[in-house]
Amino acid sequence: MWSLETLGRVRLSRHFWMREFLCSEIANFHGLQNIPDDPDLAIERGRAFCETLLDPLEETFGRIFVRSGYRSAALNRFGNENGLNCARNDYPLECHIWDVPTVPVAGASIVIPWFADRYAQGRDWRDLAWWLHDHLDFSEIWVFPKLCAFNLSWRPEPRRRIDAYVAPKGTLLRAGDAPAETPEQRQARYADFPEFRGRANV
C-alpha cells in the first residue's frame, strides 16, 4: 500500500518528483484528495512524460513551473462538473489523468518563465509552439493566455497537435498534417532561444 508521503518522494526524472504534480488548488480549496487510483501506473507514465518532455525543457530554459499536474479521475470529474476548467474525463485530449489503464497519456499545464517574460512584452506564442514542435516529441499542446501557460502531453504514439486559446485562436497544427511554415521560417522565429539541451531533435 502506497502512503502519500512515499508517493510524493518518488523521483520521476532528473529534475522532477511526483509531489509537485499532486498539488491541486481545487483539491485544497474543496477539501478533496488527489491520489492516484493506480500509483504504479501514474508513476510509469509520469516518468515517461518528465524524461521525454519536461527534463529537456528545464535543461534548456531553466526552472519550469508546473501549474496543474496530475488529477485523479474523481477530482477531474468534480472540476468538470463544477465549471473549474477541467475537461470531461472521457475527452480524448484530457491529459491530467495519468492512470486510466486504457488511455496511455500523461501531461500537465506548465509555464516556462523565460518565455513568459518575453510573452508579457508581446512575443508571439507561436515562436514557442514551433520551437516545441521542432525539438520535442510531444503529443498535444494547448496554449492559454495567462503567462503563455500550456498543456503539454506525452503519449507512446504522439499525435503532434497544437491548439491555442490565444490570438490567433484555433488549431495551429492538426495531427498528421505538415506545418504551415517551412523549417527556415520556424527557425527564424526562435533564433534567439537558448541552445537546446536534452534529447536529440525529433
User: What does the pLDDT read at residue 164?
Assistant: 98
Note the pLDDT tens digit of each residue in 80-120: 999 988 999 998 889 999 999 999 999 999 999 999 999 99
User: How many CB atoms neighbour CB 11 within 10 A?
Assistant: 13
User: What does the pLDDT read at residue 2?
Assistant: 60
> How much is the mean pLDDT over the chain?
94
What residues form DSSP beta bridges with 66? 110
Residue 199, domain member (yes or no): no
**CB-count exposure of residue 1 (10 Å: 0-12, 13-18, 19+):** exposed
Residue 195, domain member (yes or no): no
pTM: 0.93
Note the pLDDT tens digit of each residue in 124-133: 999 999 999 9
User: What does the pLDDT read at residue 200?
Assistant: 44
Q: 198 pLDDT exceeds 90?
A: no
Residue 198, domain member (yes or no): no
User: What does the pLDDT read at residue 199?
Assistant: 59
- Quote the number of domains for the chain: 1
Residue 8, domain member (yes or no): yes
CATH code, domain with 17: 3.30.1380.10
**Integer CA distances (angstroms), 193 to 44, 46, 151, 168, 173, in order:** 31, 27, 20, 22, 21
User: What does the pLDDT read at residue 91?
Assistant: 87
Residue 41, domain member (yes or no): yes
Note the pLDDT tens digit of each residue in 28-50: 999 999 999 999 999 999 999 99
> Which residue, chain included where needed, has cell 518575453?
118
Note the pLDDT tens digit of each residue in 46-90: 999 999 999 999 999 999 999 999 999 999 999 999 998 899 999
Domain limits at 156?
Answer: 4-189
The residue-averaged pLDDT of 12-21 equals 96
